[in-house]
Structure 1
Amino acid sequence: MRYAIHFTPPAHDPLTLAAAQWLGRNAFSGEAMEPPAIRGIGIHDIAFNTALPRRYGFHATLKAPFRLAPDITEPMLLRHLMRFAGAHNPFELPGLEVVRLGNFFALAPVIPSEAMRFLAASVVQEFDVFRAPLSEAELERSDPGDLSAPQFANLHRWGSPYVMDEFRFHMTLTGPLSAADLPRFERALRDYFDPYLKRLVEVVNLALFIEEEPGAPFLVHSLHPMGRVSARKIA
């Protein structure tokens, strides 16, 4: 069993539902979904190129997948996450847009969000004691050989290369694409997601995802509302 602490909009948010259809799976229900009909890209082409993010579900990583430390139980993690979320105020992200990150596409804020950067760093630090150290095999899988020195240090200190100063909020939409596929997928993604990116995204929950066994698809285990109950704004 592995756990991950992510951000994702609520289950019935239009963006969540649109992303679930694009990826071919709803991370809340586990239900498979048929990809949308998009001119110029077949549904099998979409399914093939979304296989990697489909397994992880629509999310932005805050605390990368981890096994629990030997003295930690799931109820302990849940209680602490509930308290942690309640101690952090909700906020809005700047508008999201489709961006290219290397050879894949994702949704990311138009301008960086300092509130999200602070939240992500806080999650990484706060929940590190709940994480079992990476095994040698996990370290090898996580180090493709081209990590920068800070990323390598993060991997060994925090269990993930892309945290702290290396963090960039993004919600992955495709796996790696060939150079020939990049332009047509970019057009398709912009056309498909544009109607859902007209409003700001509210960060009102932290989401606990679980992987029940190695290679299994990640599912949303629970959402943990942010802020004091008296001041909480639920989307």
Structure 2
Amino acid sequence: MTARYAIYYAPAPESPLWSFGSGVLGYDAASGGSAPVIAPEGVAPADWAAMTAAPRRYGFHATLKAPFHLQDGVTEDDLVAAGRAFAATRAAFALPELEVTRLGAYVALQPSGRSAELDALAGACVEAFEPFRAAPDAEELARRQQAPLTERQKAALERWGYPYVFEDFHFHMTLAGPVADGLAPRVVKGLSRLYADHVAFATIRVEAVALFVEDLPGHGFRIVDRFVFAG
């Protein structure tokens, strides 16, 4: 088992939001190549490359079904077929306005409020793609367990392979991190300005979910397919 797959929300590759997020990370997961870098004013290029190294590996996204290996006997084609069947039952909806905010040591785009439709989509993805997920190995479990988890999150990790599901799901699209406390306000302010310039607070619609793959450990995740909703 080398490849890992994930179900993410990713904007359409032709959208301003995708261009913004991919530019901030310097990586375009749709093409699998680099993207022209967008960085906050006053941050040196080398420093920005270091601050975006961790999220760059995963591409611009919001997690719906966290990365997993496939069960024995399951193929990528099986997962694609399931994604298309899933999308055929879903309808598009608008996200609440997104804001650049701090998320612990990270900086991310997060909705200004909760969305029942978004929460329902995330929960449906966790359940619908579970039959394809192989149980995590001891190393992955140990890594997940290093985070401070509630009893509910520990139970979710055991059951679903990821602790932040259902009641503990929080939609976010990571832009940078870890970011030092002293630098975080400047990064948030600078990225907020860039977001306003590039996306202009357009209505963001969730019209699809995307299948990402990491072909080999440490390689960047890339988009395999986007499953566009029927409605």
The letter of the residue matching 2:203 is L
**1:142 and 1:197 mapped to 2: Cα distance?**
37
Structure 2: which 5+ residue stretches go unaligned? none
Alignment partner, residue 210 of structure 2: 207
Correspondence for 2:59 among 57, 65, 69: 57
User: Cα RMSD between the aligned structures?
Assistant: 1.2
- Superposition pairs of residues 160-199 of structure 1, within 5 angstroms: 160-195=162-197, 196-199=199-202
The letter of the residue matching 1:44 is A
User: How high is the sequence identity, in percent, across the aligned residues?
Assistant: 39
The letter of the residue matching 2:24 is W
Alignment partner, residue 223 of structure 1: 226
* 1:34 shift after superposition: 4.0
Q: Is the contact made by 1:95 and 1:197 (CA closer than 8 Å) also made in structure 2?
A: no
The letter of the residue matching 1:60 is A
**2:39 and 2:148 mapped to 1: Cα distance?**
37
- Superposition pairs of residues 4-15 of structure 1, within 5 angstroms: 4-15=6-17
- TM-score using structure 2 length: 0.95
**1:174 and 1:131 mapped to 2: Cα distance?**
28
**2:42 and 2:78 mapped to 1: Cα distance?**
49
The letter of the residue matching 1:49 is M
User: How many pairs align?
Assistant: 228
Q: Secondary structure at the match of 1:19?
A: helix
Structure 1: which 5+ residue stretches go unaligned? none
Q: Any idea what the Cα deviations from partners look like across 1:90-143, whole Å, max 9, x if unmatched? A: 111111111111111111111111101001001101111110001111100111
Q: Is the contact made by 1:210 and 1:218 (CA closer than 8 Å) also made in structure 2?
A: yes
Q: Is the contact made by 2:39 and 2:48 (CA closer than 8 Å) also made in structure 1?
A: no
Q: Secondary structure at the match of 1:223?
A: strand
Q: Secondary structure at the match of 1:188?
A: helix
Q: Is 2:88 aligned against 1:86?
A: yes
- The answer to which of 80-89 and 33-42 deviates more is 33-42
Alignment partner, residue 142 of structure 1: 144
Q: Is the contact made by 2:51 and 2:177 (CA closer than 8 Å) also made in structure 1?
A: yes
| Runs of 4+ in structure 1 over 6 Å off | none
Q: Is 2:113 aligned against 1:111?
A: yes
Q: Secondary structure at the match of 2:100?
A: strand
- Superposition pairs of residues 33-48 of structure 1, within 5 angstroms: 33-36=35-38, 38-48=40-50
